[in-house]
Amino acid sequence: MITKAMILASGKGERMMPLTRDLPKPMLKIGNVTLIEDKIIKLSEIGIESIVINTGYLGEYIRDHVGDGSKFGIRISISNEGEQPIGTAEGVRKTLEFFNGENFILVNADIWTNYSFIDLKRHELLGSLGHIILTKRPDYHSGDFNLENNILNVGNTYTYTGIGVYSPKLFTEHKDKDLGIILKKDKSITADIFSGKWDDIGTPERLKNARDEISL
């Protein structure tokens, strides 16, 4: 049973300017919660005990906001990567000691979804080094993968949701800096397709759409 998770929250959010001029993107709110809180709450609700969050641009805002996790009933550690991006996979490598060789859930802070993480928490990789969640490619995205017999292939039918469960070995066997490159190279990655609500909150327009949707 998976007990640890990581939230990727170190991006600069340049496409969100001017909203991210003085605030990191994970601190933007949809409804009454910030994007980072939303992920912490969802992970806490399924029984995840410890989370590590990587931060970069204006990361002190995230650190001060989440604290040690006690207000969420969970333990939170911060991995500060500095002001310059180091890459998603490199960010995970920097925290591998945190997982003690155990499989872990990885989720992007800047998504908005009604996906429940409970099935991932129970997922056993069984020879694979990763299992990710895909969604049908939205109009604003060019797509990442195809899927054949639950095995990932490079293509454009589906988009990676930024949600998955991984073995630490994936990040030691591959040396690439970005997770997307590794997912396209490794031949063992499996996936499921999620058909519920999912959005990449990458632009002010998409942020507004998500805010409008929950206010209906």
Per-residue pLDDT at 216: 58
Residues in the chain: 216
> Is the Cβ–Cβ distance between 116 and 198 less than 8 Å?
no
CA angle 195, 201, 204 (to 5 degrees): 135
Interacting residues of 205 by C-beta distance below 8 A, sequence separation 6+: none
Domain ranges for the chain? 4-215
Chunk the chain into consecutive blocks of 10 residues (it has 216) and report each block's average pLDDT, rounded to whole numbers.
96 87 95 97 96 96 97 97 92 97 97 93 90 95 91 94 98 97 95 96 94 84
Residue 210 is classified by DSSP as H
Taking the C-alpha atoms of residue 80 and residue 82, their distance in angstroms, rounded to an integer, is 6
Taking the C-alpha atoms of residue 30 and residue 170, their distance in angstroms, rounded to an integer, is 33
Taking the C-alpha atoms of residue 212 and residue 50, their distance in angstroms, rounded to an integer, is 32
Taking the C-alpha atoms of residue 132 and residue 134, their distance in angstroms, rounded to an integer, is 7
Place of tokens 């195809």: 146
Classify 4-215 by CATH class.
alpha beta
